[in-house]
Amino acid sequence: MKSGFTAIIGRPNVGKSTLLNQILGQKIVIATDKAQTTRKRIKGVYTTKEGQIVFIDTPGVHKPLNKLGEFLLDEAKIAVPDADLILFLVDGSEPAGKGDKWIAENILKTDIPVIIVMNKVDKTKKIEKIESNLLTYKTLFKKNYPIVKISAKTGRNIDTLIKNIFKHLPEGDLLYPEDIVTEETMRDVTEEIIREKILINTSDEIPHSVAVKVEKYQENDDIDRIYATIYCETKSQKGILIGKNGNLLKKIGTEARIDLENIVDKKVFLGLEVKVEKDWRKKQSALKNFGYQQNNE
């Protein structure tokens, strides 16, 4: 039996969270087409008769512009040293860019095995274009790393990827009980799902300016009662989030509640309010309050 940790590293929007959800067969991490959708390292546990892969989903790597950006970059960097294997996830429909080169030179200079995973290969039907793009990723490294072409969205070649991952993991017992899929709490899951609905329903700077905090989570046999606050940086953002006659906030709340009811398999009451926390992304104290701080591990 084999078991170990596999870190998923890549630029924003290459499909890291979509890949993890596809492998696990259920939604444990939020996925949208917006940058910074993933803000924290999230563990997903995949168990079969061959063994166990503990995936570590990380924020997309990009140049930090504020304290939050620094935290996101650190979250990706921290995942690398403790991993047994790294999946360098790239957009296979495009050639390697500056961001990919920066990751290769600054994060992936390591003795830990790397698999280059070319995602989104279903976006182009020209095989020669895929092969041409493949070469641009291979040349980022001096070592000859294996390459697997996949589609995280459709599940294409995921079984091949899993086989390749197991090849690189050490022999060992299960790291988590076999029925565990994630170590995230329902508070964590709730905050992320509310944030996902904000990402989907808003545009411009708002998705990046928002943090969500569950203030109270009451579990009961027949209904879970959840009270959460959405924090933004300006009064104008607050007005947009609430919407005319409170319509947008109601929409966000309804969509989040439906997802949560599917997860906990019972009724959910979700109470939302919006508050302004000016320039919170630049303040260490605010980052700490919203859970964007490094764990001592």
In the prediction, which pLDDT does 297 show? Answer: 41
76 is written with which tokens?
């990706």
> How many Cα atoms within 13 Å fall on the side-chain side of residue 117?
31
DSSP string, 124-143: ---HHHHHHHHHHHHTT-SS
Q: What is the pLDDT of residue 295?
A: 55
Distance CA 101, CA 275 (A): 39
Q: What is the pLDDT of residues 59-90, one digit of tens each?
A: 888 778 888 888 888 888 888 888 999 999 99
Is residue 129's pLDDT more than 80?
A: yes
pLDDT of residue 63: 78
Confidence of residue 294 (pLDDT cuts 50, 70, 90): low
Distance (Å, rounded) from C-alpha 172 to C-alpha 213? Answer: 38
pLDDT in tens, 187-215: 999 999 999 999 999 988 898 899 999 99
End-to-end CA distance of the chain: 26
Structure pTM? 0.85
The rounded distance, in Å, linking the Cα atoms of 117 and 96 is 12
User: Mean pLDDT throughout 234-256?
Assistant: 96
CA distances (Å), origin 238, targets 149, 248, 256: 42, 11, 18
Query: Could you give the maximum distance between any two Cα atoms of the chain, in Å?
Result: 58
pLDDT per position as a tens digit, 30-39: 877 777 787 7
DSSP track, 12-54: TTSSHHHHHHHHHTS--S---SSTT---S-EEEEEEETTEEEE
The answer to whether 230 and 209 have CB atoms below 8 angstroms apart is no
